[in-house]
Amino acid sequence: MEIRKVLKLINFYPPLFFAGIRLKKISADATQLVVQMKLNVFNKNMFGTHFGGSLYAMCDPFYVFIIASHLKNDYVIWDKSACIDFVRPGKGKVQAIFEIPKSELIVIKEEVDNGLKKSFFFETVVTDEQQKIVAKVKKEVYIRRKSKE
């Protein structure tokens, strides 16, 4: 299935849907995704703030989606590792912006096309409605060309 179609359906994927995670914006060139999550009964912890697992879930697949939308089906693209630093309790609506500039996507493709199996690193922040940082997220994404077997 084409990645843009997947992105349009992602809001109905049960782990994201029930956590209240919504993909709110896809840039025209699919290099930027804006994801939001409102506090609700399914993502609230015992202290009345966003559950840490839900904060991470809202950041989990989106760098892979951006890369996959540009590299298509000839590549293996995997989340390899992640680190989340919880800075302050999240209340209300939180948001994360995932962006990989077109120029960086071109470099990624060139490096992988030259036979490299490589990990690439990306960072984003989750902010609250007052633009205060709730969490900092670092992602490692592994990419290689598929073998021609």
pLDDT in tens, 3-30: 667 777 888 888 899 899 999 999 989 9
Q: At what angle do helices 102-113 and 62-71 cross, to 10 degrees?
A: 70
pLDDT at 7: 73
Given this model, what pLDDT does residue 103 score? 97
| Higher local confidence (pLDDT), 97 or 9 | 97
Does 73 have pLDDT greater than 90?
A: no
CATH of the domain at 118: 3.10.129.10
Q: Compute the C-alpha angle 17/11/105, nearest 5°.
A: 130
pLDDT, tens digit, for every residue of 131-143? 999 999 999 999 9
**Could you tell me the pLDDT band of residue 2, with boundaries at 50, 70 and 90?**
low
Work out how many domains the chain is built from and give that number: 1
What three-state secondary structure class fits 17? helix
What pLDDT, on a 0 to 100 scale, did the predictor assign at position 115? 80
Euclidean distance between CA atoms 46 and 125, whole angstroms: 23
Q: What is the pTM of this model?
A: 0.91
Query: Domain range spanning residue 25?
Result: 3-145
- pLDDT of the residue at 4: 65
CA–CA gap between residue 125 and residue 88 (Å, rounded): 12
Average pLDDT, the chain: 92
pLDDT at 87 over 80: yes
Confidence at residue 120, expressed as pLDDT on a 0 to 100 scale: 97
For residue range 42-65, what is the model confidence (pLDDT) as tens digits? 999 999 999 999 999 999 999 999
85's enclosing H/E stretch is strand 75-86
Strand 118-127 to strand 21-26: parallel, antiparallel, or no bridges (unpaired)? Answer: unpaired
Q: How far apart are CA 120 and CA 129, in angstroms?
A: 30
